[in-house]
């Protein structure tokens, strides 16, 4: 999803559907599982899992540019704290509230939730 031009639209629509704020700046896209594996992240994800999951909608959340640069490749526990304390986007705060850990299984769980939301959101387009 990330490499498609629809990514910002998708995460913004999801945020709006939750009654989230509408900051005037275009959101930055945070890859919760970073685009580059670090030693920490390699203990949780294989290279194959990383390649398959890193750019999926389930791994993306909206953040401000300032927060995005702070999050970088930090472990999920640190990202979670920073998002709770600093995120302007309700969907990002809701995300870290719902997921204590970020693993291949939780990405799949979030993917299923986003798929259900998408079907409801755009049910008349088909």
DSSP characters over 58-80: GGEEEE-HHHHHHHTT--HHHHH
Would the pLDDT of 126 be above 80? no
Are 41 and 31 a contacting pair, CB within 8 Å? no
pLDDT at 125 > cutoff 70: no
The pLDDT tens digits of the residues spanning 52-89 come to 999 999 999 999 999 999 999 999 999 999 999 999 99
Residue 26, pLDDT score: 81
Query: What is the mean pLDDT of the segment spanning 89-111?
Result: 96
| Residue 123: pLDDT band with limits 50, 70, 90 | confident
- How many Å is the Cα radius of gyration of the chain? 14
């Amino acid at each position: 999803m990330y490499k498609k031009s629809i990514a910002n639209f998708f995460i913004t629509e999801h945020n709006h559907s939750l009654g989230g704020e509408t900051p005037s700046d275009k959101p930055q896209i945070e890859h919760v599982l970073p685009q580059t594996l670090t030693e920490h992240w390699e203990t949780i994800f294989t290279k194959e899992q990383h390649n398959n999951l890193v750019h999926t909608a389930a791994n993306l959340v909206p953040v401000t540019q300032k927060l995005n640069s702070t999050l970088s490749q930090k472990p999920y526990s640190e990202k979670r704290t920073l998002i709770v304390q600093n995120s302007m986007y309700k969907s990002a705060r809701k995300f870290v509230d719902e997921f204590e850990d970020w693993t291949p299984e939780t990405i799949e769980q979030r993917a299923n939730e986003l798929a259900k939301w998408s079907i409801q959101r755009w049910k008349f387009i088909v």
